[in-house]
């Protein structure tokens, strides 16, 4: 009788996950959760999801709902969606990353309430708290409940290395120049193969040192040294130098027995590439895939700027005319214009984006291209045999999806850390081309139609440069698959993490 009672009273292990608002943070965490519970009915993952009253375009909101309500998800992954934070309660005209962080901060009382409920469970034992990069304010709650803490880095290890090094740059390079650095000056940090120009660093770093945006980002970066580990959606072959640099710093600090935790990098677990296997089955999906089925192999350029990327009206026009001039087939996901590159990330767009295209464009290109509003089934498109290349905003999720499917890129970064990612793709991995902008008065500038057509032709037409690029992206695709095999580097890192949590 006693052994039976002990068995009944056994608590099952549980991981709590807190994503930052936004699909680019939620999707990889959900995919990671699915990996965790695969073949493990006893392990549970409980999501606590902060939300904004206008956190995304209507298409992104629909995508989020389809993720949270997906009937194919295992029953041991559950979601608690918190009351919406009103965007108007956030700092006016603040940068996107700052708004995301404030949204999580406003949600802390509700997160605390949920954690209290989970901790009092008679059936589950909370093992660790995993949170997204801009949800670092939950660290204080984790300390209160004596939980292991892990930041889930949905971006690459290069950005993580930069974030860990930024406090040092703030004390040395940035502070001594007193904001007088030229945007073309370069900085180095551990693990970077090529130096980065100031203009290519994440958006918050380009703000004044005294600004709330910069101080908030710096505080987030300092917090990363306080966690027990960093789970990174990358793999060793893709970012070997950055991963090795973080691991080397950690090892040096351990050997020195340095107890100044502000300077100790977290243990890094490169467990990627984690990507969606498929997207929702809606009208756009069927239309896109049917259209691709009727195109010749490797003939289509796919164009998308992610779940939040937007272009100005002028740039939208130039892309349209550039596509026409190139003479190549295309599948273009169009979003209503906005002067800010991340204009759709936190703001709902109700306009029909196709109304903003040049007059007659859709009719003139009907035989060669397909234009879809706001959303398309990206994973399936990149995996389709008719897709030849990807004109991308260089968001990390999109990069991994392109790498996994062996599709070379035209890099068109817009905001956040996307310029750093573009440098990695073009200068280090050499699997992307990048168009040149016409820059006036030190502003971002416009990529003209002639340049767009030129770059598309370089990418899409048979030439030695294109062949070499396709060989390199195929090599990366093979390495990505190998990383997830039984003895692959990511599988080993994943197993080490599970052993740390004692859930193997």
Please, is 358 exposed, middle or buried when counting C-beta atoms within 10 Å of its C-beta (0-12, 13-18, 19+)? middle
Residue 89: predicted pLDDT: 73
Residue 55: predicted pLDDT: 44
Residue 91: predicted pLDDT: 67
Q: Which residues contact 423 (CB under 8 A, 6 or more apart)?
A: 194, 196, 200
Same domain, 469 and 333: yes
| Mean pLDDT computed over 148-171 | 95
Q: Cβ(230)–Cβ(157) under 8 Å?
A: no
Question: Is 5 inside a domain boundary?
Answer: no
Residue 58: predicted pLDDT: 46
| Mean pLDDT computed over 288-301 | 97
SS (H, E, C) 436-488: CCECCCCCCCECCHHHHHHHHHHHHCCCHHHHHHHHHHHHHHHHHHHHCCCCC
Q: Which residues contact 286 (CB under 8 A, 6 or more apart)?
A: none
Same domain, 90 and 151: yes
Confidence of residue 113 (pLDDT cuts 50, 70, 90): very high
Same domain, 173 and 312: no
Out of 6-20, 227-241, 410-424, pick the least confident. Answer: 6-20
Out of 50-59, 163-172, 383-392, 464-473, pick the least confident. Answer: 50-59
Does the pLDDT value for residue 344 go beyond 80? no
Question: Is 292 inside a domain boundary?
Answer: yes
Same domain, 51 and 188: yes
* Interatomic CA distance for residues 338 and 313, integer angstroms: 7
Residue 503: predicted pLDDT: 77
DSSP 8-state code for residue 265:
P
Token pair 């980002």 is found at 217
Does the pLDDT value for residue 8 go beyond 80? no
Angle between helices 489-500 and 464-483 (to 10 degrees): 30
* Interatomic CA distance for residues 242 and 248, integer angstroms: 10
Please, is 146 exposed, middle or buried when counting C-beta atoms within 10 Å of its C-beta (0-12, 13-18, 19+)? exposed
* Interatomic CA distance for residues 434 and 230, integer angstroms: 31
Same domain, 34 and 156: yes
Same domain, 367 and 420: yes
| Mean pLDDT computed over 187-215 | 92
Question: Is 178 inside a domain boundary?
Answer: yes
Q: Cβ(411)–Cβ(423) under 8 Å?
A: no
Helix (H) or strand (E) segment spanning residue 189: none
Same domain, 162 and 307: no
Q: Which residues contact 2 (CB under 8 A, 6 or more apart)?
A: none
Tokens of 284: 């756009």
State phi, psi for 100 to the nearest 5 degrees. -60, -45
Same domain, 374 and 397: yes
Token pair 């940068």 is found at 95
Does the pLDDT value for residue 261 go beyond 60? no
Residue 172: predicted pLDDT: 85
Confidence of residue 56 (pLDDT cuts 50, 70, 90): very low
Question: Is 4 inside a domain boundary?
Answer: no
SS3 128: strand
| Mean pLDDT computed over 91-106 | 80
Torsion of CA 141, 145, 147, 151, to 10 degrees: -10
* Interatomic CA distance for residues 495 and 243, integer angstroms: 17
Out of 128-142, 172-186, 421-435, 445-459, pick the least confident. Answer: 172-186
**Backbone dihedral region of 327: left (phi > 0), alpha (psi from -120 to 50 degrees) or beta?**
left
Q: Which domain holds residue 363?
A: 283-482
Confidence of residue 160 (pLDDT cuts 50, 70, 90): very high
Question: Is 2 inside a domain boundary?
Answer: no
Confidence of residue 71 (pLDDT cuts 50, 70, 90): low
Bridge partners of 196, per DSSP, are 187
Question: Is 445 inside a domain boundary?
Answer: yes
* Interatomic CA distance for residues 310 and 320, integer angstroms: 14
Residue 439: predicted pLDDT: 56
Same domain, 325 and 460: yes
Between 122 and 299, name the one with better pLDDT.
299
Question: Is 231 inside a domain boundary?
Answer: yes
H helices within 353-463, ranges in order?
361-364, 378-382, 396-404, 418-423, 449-460
Does the pLDDT value for residue 57 go beyond 70? no
Question: Is 289 inside a domain boundary?
Answer: yes
Q: What is the CATH number of the domain that holds 426?
A: 3.40.50.2000
Does the pLDDT value for residue 482 go beyond 60? yes
pLDDT tens sequence across 419-430: 999 999 999 999
Per-residue CA distances from 428 to 215, 238, 240, 330, 422 (Å): 30, 10, 11, 27, 10
Same domain, 478 and 488: no
Q: Which residues contact 69 (CB under 8 A, 6 or more apart)?
A: none
Does the pLDDT value for residue 208 go beyond 60? yes
Confidence of residue 250 (pLDDT cuts 50, 70, 90): confident
**How many independent structural domains does the chain possess?**
2
Same domain, 193 and 94: yes
- From the list 496, 273, 500, the residue with the least C-alpha distance to 404 is 273
Does the pLDDT value for residue 18 go beyond 90? yes
Residue 307: predicted pLDDT: 83
Same domain, 27 and 107: yes
Between 131 and 176, name the one with better pLDDT.
131
SS3 13: strand
Does the pLDDT value for residue 59 go beyond 80? no
| Mean pLDDT computed over 72-78 | 91
How high does pLDDT run on average in the chain?
89
| Mean pLDDT computed over 314-328 | 97
Residue 260: predicted pLDDT: 53
């Amino acid at each position: 009788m006693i052994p039976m009672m002990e068995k009944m009273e056994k608590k099952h292990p549980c991981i709590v996950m807190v994503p930052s608002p936004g699909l680019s943070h939620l999707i990889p965490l959900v995919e990671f959760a699915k990996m965790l519970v695969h073949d493990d009915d006893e392990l549970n993952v409980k999501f606590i999801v902060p939300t904004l009253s206008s956190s995304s375009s209507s298409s992104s909101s629909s995508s989020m709902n389809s993720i949270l309500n997906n009937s194919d998800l295992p029953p041991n992954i559950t979601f608690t969606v918190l009351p919406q934070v009103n965007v108007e309660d956030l700092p006016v005209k603040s940068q996107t990353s700052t708004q995301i962080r404030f949204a999580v901060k406003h949600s802390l009382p509700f997160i605390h309430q949920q954690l209290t409920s989970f901790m009092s469970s008679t059936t589950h034992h909370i093992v660790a708290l995993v949170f997204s990069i801009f949800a670092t304010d939950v660290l204080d709650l984790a300390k209160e409940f004596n939980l292991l803490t892990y930041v889930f880095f949905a971006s690459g290890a290069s950005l993580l290395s930069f974030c860990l090094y930024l406090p040092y740059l703030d004390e040395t390079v940035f502070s001594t120049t007193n904001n007088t650095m030229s945007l073309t000056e370069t900085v180095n940090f551990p693990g970077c193969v090529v130096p980065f120009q100031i203009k290519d660093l994440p958006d918050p770093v380009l703000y004044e040192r005294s600004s709330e945006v910069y101080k908030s980002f710096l505080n987030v970066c300092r917090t990363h040294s306080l966690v027990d580990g960093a789970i990174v959606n990358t793999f060793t072959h893709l970012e070997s130098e950055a991963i090795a640099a973080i691991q080397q710093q950690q090892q040096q600090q351990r050997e020195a027995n340095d107890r100044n935790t502000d300077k100790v990098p977290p243990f890094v677990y490169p467990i990627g590439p984690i990507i969606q296997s498929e997207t929702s089955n809606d009208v756009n999906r069927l239309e896109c895939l049917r259209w691709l089925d009727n195109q010749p192999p490797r003939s289509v350029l796919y164009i998308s700027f992610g779940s939040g990327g937007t272009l100005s009206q002028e740039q939208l026009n130039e892309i349209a005319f550039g596509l026409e001039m190139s003479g190549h087939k295309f599948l273009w996901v169009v979003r209503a214009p906005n002067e800010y590159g991340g204009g759709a990330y936190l703001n709902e767009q109700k306009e029909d984006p196709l109304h903003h295209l040049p007059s007659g464009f859709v009719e003139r290109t009907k035989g060669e291209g397909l234009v879809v509003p706001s959303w398309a089934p990206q994973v399936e498109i990149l995996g389709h045999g008719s897709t030849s290349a990807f004109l991308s905003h260089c968001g990390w999720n999109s990069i991994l999806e392109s790498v996994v499917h062996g599709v070379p890129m035209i890099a068109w970064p817009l905001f956040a850390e996307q310029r750093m990612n573009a440098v990695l793709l073009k200068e280090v991995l050499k699997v992307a081309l990048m168009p040149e902008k016409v820059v006036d008065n030190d502003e971002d500038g416009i990529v003209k139609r002639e340049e767009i057509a030129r770059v598309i032709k370089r990418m899409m037409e048979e030439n030695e440069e294109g062949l070499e690029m396709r060989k390199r992206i195929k090599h990366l695709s093979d390495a990505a698959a190998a990383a997830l095999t039984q003895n692959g580097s990511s599988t080993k890192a994943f197993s080490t993490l599970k052993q740390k949590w004692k859930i193997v």
